[in-house]
Amino acid sequence: MEDTFSRISFKKKTEAISEQIVGLINSRDLTRGDKLPSERYLSETMGVSRGALREALRALEMIGIIETKTGSGSFIKVNGPIEKTTDLSKMMERDDNPLNLIIVRKTIEPLSAKLAAKNAGESEILHLKDFYSGYDIPAGEKEINYDLDGDFHLYIAEMSQNKSLYDVMKVITDRMKSDNFWRFAKEKTTGLLHHLGPHIDEHEMLVNAIANHDEKEAEKAMKQHLRSVEKGLLQFF
């Protein structure tokens, strides 16, 4: 089965990798339950970097074509034929790494939290607490409302009373909501029930610091939260 993979020379290598795997499923060279060769073998055989390979595999996992099991490898989840989906093409068109969002967020959001603690009025603090209460997960639910998460961080920027900072954060939160890879990694790292505790605790620390007008603690809490998010994302990007 390993001999069926061939070297890739296309410009958009992530898309070419995905299409080759889909093609092998359609030709029945790969069927449900088959394990893909190691990343090292695939990257060397196809002539691509491991980064491009992993991005292609993540895209295929996101749309349900493969399943990656930690410590075991990647397995085919479907049998052919599979049409070239618009979802796959759209995901392969992206040209940025979600970690770049974290780089920018780590730069501006601690300042956002610090200014929010300094400038927020009581009505704004009450509204922020309402945002935090929205993180309560009903029994049986396992996923965070990621749109709410983005709105929470955007509102902190609004509380800073710095319009330029808010405008930058609006661009970032729009990306957080629309970027499929960002949402995929967040769901993998914090979307499962047993991972929600630290995520919610970090937000609680942040809300309390802002409510107490403690600028240093608000800044510290935001830095700690973003380090936690970054640590999770580094597993996938």
| Chosen domain end from 57, 92, 127 | 92
| Chosen domain end from 73, 92, 111 | 92
| Chosen domain end from 92, 122, 145 | 92
Answer yes or no: are the C-beta atoms of 235 and 189 closer than 8 Å.
Answer: yes
Q: 75-104: per-residue pLDDT in tens?
A: 998 887 776 654 555 555 555 567 788 889
Pair (141, 47) in one structural domain: no
Pair (109, 176) in one structural domain: yes
Q: Which domain holds residue 55?
A: 2-92
Pair (129, 202) in one structural domain: yes
- How confident is the model over 195-223, as a mean pLDDT? 89
Domain CATH for 20 = 1.10.10.10
Pair (44, 74) in one structural domain: yes
- How confident is the model over 100-124, as a mean pLDDT? 94
**What's the number of domains the chain is made of?**
2
- Prediction pTM value: 0.65
Q: Does 208 or 99 have the greater pLDDT score?
A: 208
> Is 73 a residue whose pLDDT tops 80?
yes
Pair (78, 150) in one structural domain: no
Burial 203-218 (b: 16+ CB within 10 A, else e): bebbbebbbeebbebb
Pair (74, 111) in one structural domain: no
Pair (59, 15) in one structural domain: yes
Pair (41, 131) in one structural domain: no
Pair (136, 196) in one structural domain: yes
Pair (209, 121) in one structural domain: yes
Pair (106, 200) in one structural domain: yes
Pair (130, 28) in one structural domain: no
Q: Which long-range contacts (CB under 8 A, 24 or more apart) does 16-23 make?
A: 17/42, 17/46, 17/48, 17/52, 17/53, 17/56, 17/57, 18/56, 18/59, 18/60, 18/88, 18/92, 19/84, 20/46, 21/56, 21/60, 21/65, 21/66, 22/60, 22/65, 22/82, 22/84, 22/88
- State both tokens at 180: 């499929």
